Amino acid sequence: MDLAALLALNVINGAASLFLLCLGLAIIFGMMRIINLAHGEFVMLGAYAAVLSANAGVNIWIAMLVVAPLFVGLVGLLVERCLVRFLYGRLVDSMLATWGLSLLIIGIVTTIFGNTMQGVPTPLGGFSIGDYRTSWYTLFLLAVAIVMMAIVYAVLRYTRYGLIARAVMQNPDMAAVLGVNPTHVYMATFSLGAAVTGLAGGVLAPVSGITPVMGGAYVAKAFITVVGGGAAIISGTLSASGLFGFVNQLGAYFTTPVYGEVILFLSAIVLIRLLPQGISGRFFKGTV
């Protein structure tokens, strides 16, 4: 019984971290049709920002929840202005250029900080379920994922910016005729996606190894989840990360963590083959 509870907690935790990782990517890919292969490096930058500022004496919660998203949001703004805005509508070129960008960011970070980094301890401590101990931080991750989901949903669904952004994504020319400047909307959306990604990097920093190449571990997982989820940002990402997180954790429990990842990737490939439009393209049409 205790074991089942622990396993359930692990599954929830896996799904929550996957959801956090994917949300920023889903915003950028789902709304702007830009494949950002530097997504993993945005996560890495968020983690670095959180750890560096925490080590410099900033309160750990502020470092994770404020500094990381702000910093990566600014980086996203810079990237959009200097690189991505030339590549709208050129899907393959955007993939290549952002891949180049990811190598560039890895190179810069390695040059400045070297190959390893002093991490931060996981805050909050742990609690017991019967014979097993686990960390409160797991539940914190879940809470952050739920809050983020609520915020992004509310912003897209109920605010004026959300309405304008969705209109621009559907038909930029029409929106421009009605007096909206699509350039500004693209800029804001990209930087919002980057900030959400930076937040994910920040809150995952205490539970992951901080190296310049840590993004590589995330980018494929995040992509396959977003593609599996389909066009709808919230419902697609939520259903796909729930499914893949479940499959991953169960696979990891019954075999090894390595095969857990392999099982995740294989099930994702099968899912894309069966539902090329993603889960939300089939089951949640027209949702946000």
How much of the chain is in helix, strand and coil states, percent to nearest 5? 80, 5, 20
The residue among 59 and 256 lying less far from another protein, judged by its C-beta, is: 256
Q: Is 149 helix (H, G, I), strand (E, B) or coil?
A: helix
69 close to 195: Cβ distance less than 8 angstroms:
yes
Largest CA distance in the chain: 64
Count of alpha carbons within 13 angstroms of residue 77, beta-carbon side: 10
**Smallest gap, in angstroms, from Cβ of residue 32 to another protein?**
13
Window 94-113: residues binding another protein (CB under 8 A)? 95-97, 99-108, 110-111
Taking alpha carbons only, the member of 168, 23, 162, 196 closest to residue 88 is 168
User: Within a 10 A sphere around the Cβ of 236, how many other Cβ atoms?
Assistant: 28
Q: How far apart are CA 179 and CA 139, in angstroms?
A: 44
Q: Which stretch binds another protein (CB under 8 A): 16-24, 63-71, 183-191, 269-277?
A: 269-277
The residue among 35 and 238 lying less far from another protein, judged by its C-beta, is: 35
Q: Give me Rg for the CA atoms of the chain.
A: 19
Window 13-52: residues binding another protein (CB under 8 A)? 35
Taking residues 133 to 172 in sequence order and writing x for each that binds another protein by CB under 8 A, - otherwise, the string is: ----------------------------------------
Q: Which stretch binds another protein (CB under 8 A): 18-26, 131-139, 176-184, 267-275?
A: 267-275
Q: Contacting another protein (CB under 8 A), which of 3, 86, 116, 184?
A: 86
Taking alpha carbons only, the member of 45, 8, 93, 53 closest to residue 215 is 45
Q: Contacting another protein (CB under 8 A), which of 148, 165, 192, 224?
A: 224
259 touches another protein (CB under 8 A): yes
* Interface residues toward another protein, by CB under 8 A: 35, 83, 86-87, 91-93, 95-97, 99-108, 110-111, 216, 220, 223-224, 227, 256, 258-259, 261-262, 265-266, 268-269, 272-273, 276
